[in-house]
Amino acid sequence: MKSGSVKTAIVWNYHLDGQGGGQQQSRHPAIHEDKPGFDWLHLRSDDPGAVDYMHELGLDPKMIEALSATETRPRMQLLEDGVLINLRGVNTNPGADPEDMVAVRIWFNSEIIISARKHERRLLSIEDVRQSIEQGKGPKTPAELVSAVVEKLANRIGDVVDMIDDELTSVETALEERKDNVRQIQQRLSVLRKQSAAIRRYLAPQREALAELYRSGLHLSEDDRHAIRYQTDRITHYVEDLDLARERALVLHGELQNNIAEQQNSRMYLLSIVATIFLPLSFLTGVFGMNVAGLPGMENPNAFNVVAIGMGIIALALLAFVWWKKWF
């Protein structure tokens, strides 16, 4: 294996001192048996050198396959002497769609934690944990690091869920006040429904994965288990919020369709009233517009005025009749 491939495969390699701080390591493999604390190895799972490097570390082939899988869904699995958990976080990278969720694979035991993500799929939640280590305020155990990652993921997921809720409220206001046109409202609702469905698709199994991690208790202290349980409850709450957002979007879509139908019916009704008034007038103009002999008034210079006044009277009479019937 070339050293260059190792450098591109490794995002960072920390040795944490167990007190909240840590330092990046340059040597490989990343396991330090003679130092207190634990190691955190973060890899690019789709890099050609990642699989070779994990083989060099002596990892089990099943673990290597799980950490380098192309597509994953959130799940928890007891693997070897540790825990494998696949998680998803919202994509908060510049220019990215939040619903394009980023996968992170984590395997840990009491001595080491190995995480992996794709090359161009940075997770700012992972970066937040790294910054806390640089500041000496990081996790003290692998399980605490996993709990911190889960918390950071949940924080950003919560921000997106709140954004969806606020946007739905804005759409409701626009629908009530008729601020935006129908096409704009339809586009906004379509985007919100897509975001809600895409995020919920991964949050539901992520909730189950965290619940399984809590129940297993492997390599988790009592405080870690409580922290995982709390984050599980948060994810459950977000799933419920997304379900509610989807229902609200459906209701708003139904109201929008009703408003469209109401507007169309109102316009058609108005056109029907106009047609009712002008139908007799059209009949008269058709009759008197025939180029045949024998039409009354052809020789009378006042015939046009008589016909025009008569048509005006008929129009007013029909208008009064419609008004009396309260048809509009």
Q: How far is CA 107 from the centre of its chain?
A: 27
Sign of CA dihedral 79, 82, 83, 84: negative
What predicted TM-score, i.e. pTM, was given to this entire model? 0.77
Distance, in Å, from the CA atom of 67 to the CA atom of 117, rounded to the nearest integer, reads 8
Largest CA distance in the chain: 123
Contact 118, 80 (CB under 8 A): no
State both tokens at 281.
């007038």
Distance, in Å, from the CA atom of 206 to the CA atom of 103, rounded to the nearest integer, reads 11
Q: Give the pLDDT score at 27.
A: 58
Distance, in Å, from the CA atom of 165 to the CA atom of 159, rounded to the nearest integer, reads 10
Q: Give the pLDDT score at 149.
A: 95
3-state secondary structure of 41: strand
Distance, in Å, from the CA atom of 82 to the CA atom of 59, rounded to the nearest integer, reads 11
State both tokens at 143.
């399980």
3-state secondary structure of 188: helix
Task: List the chain domain ranges.
Answer: 3-258, 270-324
* CATH no. for 270-324: 1.20.58
Strand partners, 105: 86, 116
Q: Which of 254, 181, 216, 277 is nearest to 75 (CA)?
A: 216
> Do you know the residue count of the chain?
328
Q: Give the pLDDT score at 3.
A: 44
Question: Matching CATH topology for 3-258 and 270-324?
Answer: no
Q: Give the pLDDT score at 28.
A: 57
Q: How far is CA 316 from the centre of its chain?
A: 58
CATH fold for domain 3-258: Beta Polymerase; domain 2 (3.30.460)
Q: Mean pLDDT by 10-residue block, N- to C-terminus, for the chain (328 residues)?
A: 63 90 72 73 88 85 88 87 91 76 91 86 88 93 94 93 92 77 82 90 93 90 93 95 91 80 77 80 78 71 81 84 74
Q: Which residues contact 45 (CB under 8 A, 6 or more apart)?
A: 67, 68, 69, 105, 116, 117, 118
> Mutual orientation of helices 142-177 and 182-216 as an angle, nearest 10°?
160
CA angle 15, 17, 19 (to 5 degrees): 140
Distance, in Å, from the CA atom of 148 to the CA atom of 151, rounded to the nearest integer, reads 5
Q: Which of 235, 239, 237 is nearest to 210 (CA)?
A: 235
Q: Which residues contact 83 (CB under 8 A, 6 or more apart)?
A: 76, 77, 107, 108, 109, 213, 216, 218, 219
Distance, in Å, from the CA atom of 163 to the CA atom of 198, rounded to the nearest integer, reads 15
Strand partners, 229: none
Buried-state track 131-157, b at ≥16 Cβ within 10 A, e below 16? ebbeeeebbebbbbbbbbbbbbbbebb
Give residue 193's identity as a one-letter amino acid code: R
